[in-house]
Structure 1
């Protein structure tokens, strides 16, 4: 039953690109015994095609484990055994030079993962989502070259402090677990682009999240968050922040320090607000330039201006249920902030099922 193919098409998502030389035996109702027989037949073929195989796709069969003969495939980089009844991954799997191991939607438990998995230093993608993991497999922490780690839809209650060891991670997917806190060491994953923590039991986040300067997507919906660290504003590259279904305090930067304006700014504001005329001949050049540098308040109900002293806030706009940060805006005073937040509260009361905007600060 040889299904060898050189086509690299695959309907499932792969963070690591699928090689060209693919053995695709997906959706064939194979059980583990039949798979072992077929692999043995392939390995005994004098043409030795098996030595060229770089990807083995076994998704949506009836497998409970992978035959140890898999170690004969010395060039295989990608193995996909998703949507089976896998209860164990054999140690022999770790003898393959894998870059991607996808075993999502199975029956794997924490002790079902090979102890020697940490020796597969070539592994860049590991997907164990949709299994029965109750604890974070410690051997994963040895995969220093891992870039994409998917552990969603399990039953894990905590993430180890040693998560910082996965310093190459770009995507960390932990949604759909039972996490109650995130260790501060997550802030040391300097290459992280996407952090998915949705559908857990989190009540807070460590302020070290602000150290993830490359972070673009932070998904936090369906948690118990009542506040967020104000340091999150420092994530200038953040383009996606999902907050729905949280008892989140809308103004989570309520304690932001606001220094009083200088006498110069107060006087300049009066001149601009009341449209008092001035010319470069009447005032010193530096004052003239200062007055011309006035910024107008973003609150549509305010006609005020500001120069150096301002109140920062971020506006979230609903987009298909996800909140995206468009810009950091500025208001002229804390009173404007209260007025804008009042407007936001009125809008939310009109539509409880869809927030129109959330203001911070």
Structure 2
């Protein structure tokens, strides 16, 4: 469910972009910064706008970004008519502003050629109707402010591909959001949304929808019309009815963590393309039956559900590479889980295991195995079957015995044992035989294998 990335910056622009001492004043100075940025074909302008909307600190940096064509030829297009392979038309493409007042000055929305707008400062209470003037805008980021509503004019941004309004105070979304025909990413998490407009299901290109941490209890009935939707995040929406999500044909990632759910809707069983299902921290009395037909799953998060048993059919999800079952009340695993031979990471910490389940030793692709905070007193010799194991964590167990030989674990680079596990001489011997590149942790101390033979053998 995304954020702003890194950038390459050129030489800071000077001239009218900055006033005396690096300070600029008034709307004319913002326009001056933009004008100065036009001396380079594509630029990023950064500025701080004061609470009075007049006192501004401007720092503009240009970024040379060729549209197409050979990179070494790009600079030759500056100062002359653009040809194919040259740089884009003059004018900044990106603006990052930090607003210390409640309003964004309207001059911002008159910048020609603007494609990316990021507003920082955490003080803005709304977007003005002038946002509709930015017809070329592709990315709008107004995360972490105090915005209570989006203007209807946002529907005029027909080229907008990414909209980030997380961490505001939105209680609803305008119906005009359905007019964002190019929108691929919509992130509105951590707001106060109680419902979604039905019109939102008309976004033909929407792939990533983040709705986490709101007050949603239902989804639009026609959610299945979002045929391109790839990822849906609904975490921390208490008791949300996620049944319409079962009609999403292309969905690969679904998040329903911490939703206070006692079960999953049966409709989710139809998600044949689902690869990642995160439903941890829900009070499931048993593993939901809706998961059983999801044979395309690669990652399944079932932590913190207070489960006392795992069904045998879980062993039929043979494409799983990651399974999180920590913070439950499990004391055993069914033998059918030995079929999960493609498993690479298994998390069983904070349960009630007094031994390592034998099914684990059949998961020969395992690279990371987490068993901390259980009741395990012995690590059996079967662990040697896990020849691809890179990390093994047994901290927080009353561990007394290791196998006589651990040499088969040639790829192990980190072994974590309970504090005091070195009291047994056989344990010290096995540590000495681990790969030279590995580490052994006893709580906080780290011992490198290169020094083990000299220190303990």
TM above 0.5, yes or no, is yes
**How does the TM-score come out when normalised to structure 1?**
0.64
Candidates 187, 207, 213, aligned match of 1:24: 187
1:211-268 CA-partner distances (Å, limit 9, x unpaired): 212110000001111223311112111001111001122x2325x7xxxxxxxxxxxx
Shift in CA distance, 338/156, structure 1 to aligned 2, threshold 3 Å: closer
Say whether residues 1:118 and 2:288 are aligned partners. Answer: no
CA contact (8 A) 1:180 1:203 kept: yes
**Aligned pair partner of 1:231 in 370, 382, 385:** 382
Tell me the distance in 1 between the aligned counterparts of 2:164 and 2:281. 23
2:170 equivalent in structure 1:
none
Q: Which has the higher contact order (CA 8 A, sep 6+)?
A: 1
204 and 41 in structure 1: CA distance in 2 versus 1, 3 angstrom threshold: same
Deviant stretches of 4+, over 3 Å: 1-5, 7-11, 311-319, 335-343, 351-359
* Pair 1:316–1:252, CA change in 2 (3 A): farther
Asked whether the 8 Å contact 1:206–1:229 carries over to 2, the reply is no
Query: Aligned-pair distance for 1:148?
Result: 0.6
**Aligned length in residues:** 264
- Superposed CA deviations along residues 279-299 of structure 1, whole A, max 9, x for unmatched, are xxxxxxxxxxxxxxxxxxxxx
Where do residues 151-162 of structure 1 align in structure 2 (5 Å cutoff)? 151-162=302-313
* In structure 2, C-alpha distance between the alignment counterparts of 1:10 and 1:212, rounded to whole Å: 42
Q: 1:138: how far off?
A: 1.8
- Secondary structure of 1:52's counterpart equals coil
The residue that corresponds to 2:246 in the other structure is 94
TM alignment of 1:293-304, pairs within 5 A:
none
Q: State the distance in 2 between where 1:341 and 1:27 align.
A: 49
Given candidates 76, 80, 84, the residue that maps to 2:229 is 76
Shift of 1:125: 0.6
Secondary structure (helix, strand or coil) at the match of 2:267 reads helix
Whether 1:42 aligns to 2:200 is: yes
Task: Give distance in 2, aligned partners of 1:323 and 1:196.
Answer: 14
Counting only pairs closer than 5 Å after superposition, residues 167-316 of structure 1 correspond to structure 2 as 167-249=318-400, 251-253=401-403
Whether the 8 Å CA contact 2:163–2:186 is kept in 1: the answer is no
* TM-score, normalised relative to structure 2: 0.51
Check conservation: 2:391, 2:413, Cα contact below 8 A. Answer: no
Over 3 Å counting, the alpha-carbon distance change for 1:10 and 1:77 in structure 2 is: farther
Q: Which residue in the other structure is 1:327 paired with?
A: none
Query: For residue 323 of structure 1, what is the aligned residue in structure 2?
Result: 416
What is the DSSP-based 3-state SS (H/G/I as helix, E as strand, rest coil) of the residue aligned with 1:142? coil
C-alpha contact (below 8 Å) 2:387/2:411 kept by paired residues: no
User: Closer, same or farther in 2 for the Cα pair 1:314/1:168, shift >3 Å?
Assistant: closer
Once residues 334 and 363 of structure 2 are traced to their aligned partners in structure 1, the CA distance between those partners, rounded to angstroms, is 14
C-alpha displacement of 1:9: 8.9
Aligned equivalent of 1:347 = none
Shift of residue 99, structure 1, vs aligned partner: 0.8
Q: CA deviation at 1:340?
A: 4.2
Given the alignment of the two structures, is residue 56 of structure 1 paired with residue 209 of structure 2, yes or no?
yes
Structure 1 198/316 Cα, relative in aligned 2: closer, same or farther at 3 Å? Answer: farther
